[in-house]
A and B are shown apart, each in its own frame.
Chain A
Amino acid sequence: MRSDLPGPQHEWLDDDAGPVVRPYTLTGGRVRPSVDGFDLVAYVLATPDPDLAAYPELHPEHRLLVELAGQGTPVVELAADLDLAVGVVRVLLGDLLSRGLVAVHQPPRATYLPDNDILKAVVHGLRAL
């Protein structure tokens, strides 16, 4: 049990700090992923038959992410499914990427869309909804 009350050296323990400190305990305090490039709509695809047992250091949330990404899922949906902040999910995904457990596919920038047929398909798709 803690006997020392939150004092000046523990200011981050007050109520206001709650929403910040708690989510990032999961990442060991890291707020940046080891790799950049996780766009909100980047698709995360788990490696087929990932050997998660080889990585005992991973948290349950890491394992859930691998499971959810089995069929390919955008970053923002993973965050919503896990009820975690996007920033936290990015850090966890960085851990998985560096272990080769997931691959990440960036969306095309809209300014470099490969062809205008995509826009036609969007309009036609919307009309048909």
Chain B
Amino acid sequence: MDSVRYDGERRGHRVPIALKILIAGGFGAGKTTLVSALSEVRPLQTEEILTGAGVDTDDVSGVETKSTTTVAMDFGRITINDDLQLYLFGTPGQDRFWFLWDELAFGALGAVVLADTRRLADCFPSIDYFEQRGIPFVVGVNCFDGSRRFSLEAVRRALDLDPGVPMVLCDARDRQSGKTVLISLVEHVARQRGEPVPAA
């Protein structure tokens, strides 16, 4: 019987735990930049193939639809220790790829929603998505040159964010800044579980 195992050990070979974190936000908000800044390896890319027919059928022999495309997925890796790795996935920008979001979000630890104050509404769909599914998220306000015209409070009001959702200013190009955003996400997740992580 074929099986997919859920245990962490196999003949003494320890398998690391891999945690997924999603990096979401509107087109051009800096998702790929942030994944690149944080990943310990060159950002990797793979594709998922989207076919209109593939969703409900088991082969592509009858594919005559033109609604076929490949969706690139950016991802990066951060090794915490031998047993623990973080995988960062940039979410596809267009709404028609929601089906991929579901796959990415499945079992995810949480998400970072990058907001660009010049186009704030672009991140509304991401926020709605995570709110509706109860996936913990933080909002990273990406500071583009010359774009800091709003206070964090004004951005929070504009996004109609729950008071418990952390907001942080960040520079998606900067690794330290990106780290701060990830830390605030993990701390947020821990708080939601009632087990806050002590401050350093």
Q: Could you list which residues of chain A lie within 8 angstroms of chain B, going by C-beta atoms? A: 11-12, 16-17, 19-21, 23-24, 29-32, 34-43, 45, 48, 72, 74, 76-77, 79-80, 84-88, 97-98, 103-111, 116, 118-127, 129
Flag if B15 contacts A72 (CB, 8 Å).
Answer: yes
The reply on B154 being an interface residue by CB < 8 A is no
Q: Does B149 contact A (CB under 8 A)?
A: no
Interface-facing stretch out of B27-35, B53-61, B118-126, B160-168 = B53-61
Give, as a whole number of angstroms, the nearest-CB distance from B187 to chain A. 6
Binding site for A on B (CB under 8 A): 2, 4-8, 10-11, 13, 15-20, 44-49, 51, 54, 57-61, 63-64, 66, 68-70, 73, 75, 77-78, 80-81, 84, 86-87, 89, 103-104, 106-110, 179, 182-183, 186-187, 189-190, 193, 195, 197-198, 200
- Using a Cβ cutoff of 8 Å, how many contacts connect chains A and B? 173
Question: A40 contacts B80, CB within 8 Å?
Answer: no
> Which A residues are CB-close (under 8 A) to B48?
85-87
Known contacts A23-B49, A109-B107, A76 near B75 by CB under 8 Å: yes
Contact A37 B109, beta carbon cutoff 8 Å: no
B84: nearest chain-A partner, CB-CB: A121
Q: How far is the CB of A107 from chain B (nearest CB, A)?
A: 5
The 7 A-B pairs with the shortest beta carbon distances in the complex, nearest first, are: A125-B80, A37-B4, A41-B18, A116-B195, A80-B44, A79-B46, A20-B68
Once bound together, how far apart are the Cα atoms of A18 and B104, in whole Å? 25
Please, which residues of chain A bring their CB within 8 A of the CB of B109?
110
CA gap between A24 and B48 in the complex, in Å: 12
A17 to B75 Cα, complex, angstroms: 26
Residues of B within 8 A of A32 (CB): 58
Distance of A35 Cα from B106 Cα, bound (Å) = 18
Q: Which residue of A lies closest to B189 (CB)?
A: A119
Cβ contact of A122, chosen from B4, B19, B64, cutoff 8 A = B19
Contact B18 A125 (CB under 8 A): no
Residue contact B186 to A29, C-beta cutoff 8 Å: no
Residues on B with C-beta less than 8 A from A97 are 2, 4
A45 and B183 within 8 A (CB)? no
- Cβ–Cβ contact B63 & A120, under 8 A: no
B44 contacts A119, CB within 8 Å?
A: no
How far apart sit A45 and B49, CA to CA, in the bound complex (Å)?
Answer: 25
- Chain B proximity of A96: nearest CB distance (Å): 10
Contact check, A29 vs B5: say whether CB atoms are below 8 A apart.
no
In the complex, are the beta carbons of A119 and B186 less than 8 A apart? Answer: yes
> Smallest CB–CB gap between B38 and chain A, Å?
9
- Cβ contacts A to B, 25 pairs, < 8 Å: A16-B68, A19-B69, A29-B61, A40-B20, A41-B19, A41-B87, A45-B10, A72-B13, A74-B18, A77-B44, A80-B75, A84-B46, A85-B47, A103-B5, A106-B5, A107-B17, A107-B18, A108-B107, A109-B106, A110-B189, A118-B84, A120-B197, A122-B19, A125-B84, A127-B200
A122 touches B86 (CB 8 A): yes
Question: How far is A87 from B2 in the complex, measured between Cα atoms in Å?
Answer: 19
